[in-house]
Chain A
Amino acid sequence: MNRAWFLRGCGLLLLLLLPWILRDRLSLTVPFVIGLHAILALGLALLAGQAGQVSLGQAAFYGIGAYTAALLTVRLGWDPWLALGMAVLVAASLAYVLGAPVMVLRGHYLVLGTLALNVVVEVILRNWQSLTGGANGLSGVPPLHLGPFGALRGTLPYYYLVWGLVLASLWLGHNLLRSRVGRALAAIRASEVAAVSLGIPPVRYKLQLFAYSAGCAAVAGGLYAYELGFVSPSPFGFELSIAILVMGVLGGIHHLPGAVLGAAIVTLLRELLRSLLPQFFRGGASAEYEAVVYGLLLAAAVIGAPTGLWPLLARWTRRPSQESRVQPAQPPLWRLNQVPVDPPEPARDPVVKAQSLTKRFGGLVAVDDLSFTVSPGEIYAIIGPNGAGKTTVLNLITGLLRPNSGSLVLFGSPVHMLPPERIASLGVARTFQTPRVVWDLTVLDNVRLGMHLHLQAGFFTSLLGLNHEEEASSVRQAGVLLERLGLVPHAHEIAANLPFGSLRLLELARALALRPRLLLLDEPASGLSREQRMELARLIQEIRAEGVTVVLVEHDVEMVLQVADRVLVLHQGRRIAEGPPSVVRSHPEVISAYLGPAAAEIATAGPKDLRGNRRAQA
């Protein structure tokens, strides 16, 4: 048993025995409140640390939870448990409604959006007297009841209830991070472009997390109301939202247990400040000074210990600080190679049918009235000088860009209005010019990202950890791909440690994990050694032989001529030639585009004249 487990045991024992330790000396209220704050901070840590979205609305959702529970029980006589469930529903739905436009817009609107929400909640709680009782609050909130224990009165049962929930949220969060959803979130953090290309919808996952964090806050709010039997607007102000953020950042926003640590530190500090500050500052502004302390703490934490306190503590207990981030279950490698990846069914319609595609960036026409067709089972290469619009064509096919005009049909269905994650789900996978892998995930998990569309586990399944079977089978399938691309020795390394050539292979493995019908490769050979290029060419032909249509954008003309069935040559967004490699190779416009008009003249004149010219010069 190592030190970490020993410390965990001690922590648990302390939690259990705390009421006896404190007995009559100190009230249990502070530990109870720490637990409430820990729940709020855990919700925020998931949202901010995993989805990269900061919410300043935790106090608002806390308040909404408390007031919904109080109003339903006091005014309508609902059962407290039912009211608590309703409170969660109200908060989570509100988060969905507010979050949807915010997440669609991608930017960083959530901070100020939730700040505004917090202001509104305060305004409504204070002003809508007939409903909320205004500043005087609402009293007579009934306590919870629990089977054999009857009504739960006093702080003691709520203390256990809250800390049970804290441990439960830790467990749920931990499950989530090591699931399909957790990997998807890591991909979204690393590169949304890569994520959507794998069929991961970023908006949905960010929204789910936001709603989850709001729901957690509402549970805490309900428990607060039942414990106290009274609610008033003041505990749910903007100041608490800030305190919650401080807890998350101070403890370490990427580390879930850090949120609990942060909650303990900041809540104790709050209590201390509340007893000290009024002695120094008269005039009732001590809450404002409290905020200054948070401001300084935040600045100090961000600049001085940007990863928060938890990783520091974790290092001391000799636990790798990665552990609370996404980590796969680590199977022994010899079991990897058992289940073969299903071969994809061959396509029937033309795989890609582009008609008059045009894409403009401002005044620049990147793709100009371009039409082409890719047949099933073909290796179709797109070449052209730099800036010819090759990558733009790939971005149009994968839906990362929308054409200004023209139509695009994949596998017989029009796709020009589909979002990229839907296009991926048609069986379209791609690699990028600069590999976009998730640096902080292992090689194995990066490949499993490619299986996102083939795995089922949703948000709740992942939270509850009901995904073991699927996870295990995905590890086996990923193992097959790793073996095929020679990456098995790196399986459990994080991707950041890989050399460049292996990164290209990793991206290819990830694309294959999607079981594509159409595979788009963007300059897969660049940066590879000669041997690696040969290997890649062999691999591409092998993939095609399995029924996958390949579109290859490449600068390495030698490789293109070797593997491609047909070649499309682009110059300044226009098609200048198309056909089998042998035809394209001697096409005058192609030579002109690559080597300049003079070279084209020489080439078309033929070798005889060329010699003749030389003779003349001599």
Chain B
Amino acid sequence: MSLGQQLAQFIAAGIVNGAIYALLGLGLVVIYSVTRAVNVAQGEFAALGALLAATLASAGWPVEAVLPVGTAASALLGLLAYLGGIRPVRTASPLVLIIVTLAMHLTLKGLLLLVWGTDPYTLPPFSQGAPLRILGAVLARQSLWILGTAGVALMILYGFFGYTLYGKALRACAINDLAARLMGIRPQAMGAIAWTLAGALGGLAGVLITPLTLATYDMGLMLGLKGFVGAVAAGLTSYPLAVLGCLLFGIVESLVAGLLPSGYRDAIAFGVLVVALLTRAVLALRQGVLVGEEVLSE
């Protein structure tokens, strides 16, 4: 394989991973912007979707059924997480919210372990056939499924936030909670929608990636963390920037992983995270945004 081919291969694989991270990153941004919680348990939504889909598929369910069911189950989990964990402490400090999502992460992971055990589960690719060659890169058919589905999901989200009343209400909550309440938007309803949406996005990501990797009860943490790395680039508030950040991170991870022994793969996320944080901090210092305008209205 030539260097160019290799590069194309890495970039293509990076974009595919990046699309998965983007789904998780978007979930983090939705939750953060509406409920001000950094959701450590975001990856668990993906793990539930993945494990459920794998189990149902092995019981003979067709792919067309497994994908929506896995997604819906995670959406429900997201809603339950909000109702059970976040709503009781919604007025507490961000510190408490983080501790609650951390507790969620631990508990959900434990529940997944109880139900599915430590074994990895497989899910057949959504369509059979030889890998495709695109611009010198060899791509499994599942990769196209991932890109296609993620793309459609992003478009639906774009339409939702841009053109529907609920989408606009969610954005309003994110920008100014108090003003939104005065306009008659109920933050609790919005919180529930945000968490359900984030659950669905996580579930979708989990089902999509399982044919390429495997589904295990502990797959969530790293996935969620990587989505976070991408979303940090967007300051956890901008949806398009979060997608862009996640895609970029996917590509960087894939390229760097090609150079390092495989054991270090998960360490790349940290390196990129530090670089992203540094870049944002330097930018913030240059613009002099030491005390954001948001803070002034605290």
Contacts and interface: CB of A to CB of B under 8 A. Distances in A.
Interface in A76-134: 98, 100-102, 104-109, 111-113, 115-117, 119-120, 123-124, 126-127
Interface stretch (A261-269, A395-403, A470-478, A537-545): A395-403
B43 to A, nearest CB: 11
Contacts, number: 165
A101 B118 contact: no
Contact of B264 (A127, A245, A361): A127
Given A123-B263, A242-B106, A401-B296, A108 B40 contact: no
Contacts of B100: 298-299, 302-303
A412 B260 CA distance: 56
B277 A101 contact: yes
Contacts of B92: 302, 306
A417 interface: yes
A101 B273 CA distance: 11
A598 interface: no
Interface stretch (B123-131, B139-147, B154-162, B283-291): B283-291
A283 B288 CA distance: 54
A292 B292 contact: no
Nearest to A284: B118
A419 interface: yes
B281 A100 contact: yes
A31 B264 CA distance: 36
B185 to A, nearest CB: 20
Contact-residue bracket for chain B: 35 or more
A419 B290 contact: yes
Contacts of A420: 290-291
Contacts of B98: 54, 108, 111
Contacts of B225: 112, 115-116, 119
Interface in B267-298: 267, 269-271, 273-274, 277-278, 280-282, 284-285, 287-293, 295-296, 298
Interface string A438-477: 0000000000000000000000000000000000000000
Contact of B110 (A117, A295, A361, A401): A295
Contacts of B269: 116, 119
A385 interface: no
B281 A295 contact: no
A289 B113 contact: yes
Given A101-B278, A298-B102, A52 B110 contact: no
A314 interface: no
**Interface of A: prevailing SS:** helix
Contact-residue bracket for chain A: 35 or more
Contacts of A102: 277, 281
B226 to A, nearest CB: 10
Contact of A291 (B88, B106, B118, B278): B106
Nearest to A420: B291
B109 to A, nearest CB: 7
A106 B292 contact: yes
Contact of A191 (B228, B261, B270, B298): B298
Nearest to A297: B103
B263 A126 contact: yes
Contacts of A196: 290-291
A288 to B, nearest CB: 5
Contacts of A417: 288
B51 interface: no
Given A291-B109, A299-B107, A285 B118 contact: yes
Contacts of A123: 263-264, 266-267
A193 B96 contact: no
Nearest to B277: A101
B95 A283 contact: no
B105 interface: yes
Nearest to B217: A288
Contacts of A203: 290
Contacts of B273: 112-113, 116
Contacts of B293: 361, 401
Interface string A398-430: 001110000000000000010110000000000
Contact of B236 (A52, A54, A107, A395): A107
Contact of A302 (B99, B263, B284): B99
Contact of A245 (B96, B99, B285): B99
A285 to B, nearest CB: 5
B298 to A, nearest CB: 7
B38 interface: yes
B296 A400 contact: yes
A55 B188 CA distance: 28
Contacts of B263: 123, 126-127
A116 B113 CA distance: 22
B232 interface: yes
A312 interface: no
A98 B289 CA distance: 20
A44 to B, nearest CB: 12
B85 interface: yes
A102 B93 CA distance: 18
B291 A192 contact: yes
Given A104-B285, A116-B225, A298 B106 contact: yes
Given A104-B284, A107-B236, A115 B277 contact: no
B184 to A, nearest CB: 23
Interface in A293-335: 294-296, 298-299, 302-303, 306
B281 A52 contact: no
A167 to B, nearest CB: 27
A295 B101 CA distance: 9
Given A111-B40, A296-B103, A116 B270 contact: yes
A520 interface: no
A98 B271 CA distance: 11
Which one of B99, B109, B232 has the highest number of Cβ atoms from chain A below 10 Å of its Cβ?
B99
Given A111-B98, A193-B298, A288 B109 contact: yes
A294 B271 CA distance: 29
A113 B293 CA distance: 24
A351 interface: no
Contacts of A295: 102-107, 109-110
26 contacts: A56-B102, A101-B274, A102-B277, A105-B277, A112-B225, A112-B273, A117-B270, A120-B267, A193-B298, A242-B102, A253-B95, A283-B118, A285-B113, A288-B118, A288-B218, A291-B106, A294-B103, A295-B109, A302-B92, A302-B103, A303-B100, A306-B96, A395-B296, A401-B296, A402-B287, A417-B288
Interface of A: 48, 52, 54, 56, 98, 100-102, 104-109, 111-113, 115-117, 119-120, 123-124, 126-127, 191-193, 196, 203, 238, 242, 245, 249, 253, 283-285, 288-289, 291-292, 294-296, 298-299, 302-303, 306, 361, 395, 400-402, 417, 419-420
Interface of B: 38, 40, 85, 88-89, 92-96, 98-100, 102-107, 109-111, 113, 117-118, 217-218, 221-222, 225, 228-229, 232, 235-236, 261, 263-264, 266-267, 269-271, 273-274, 277-278, 280-282, 284-285, 287-293, 295-296, 298
Q: Which 5 pairs between the two chains have the least Cβ-Cβ distance? A: A295-B106, A292-B110, A101-B281, A295-B107, A298-B103
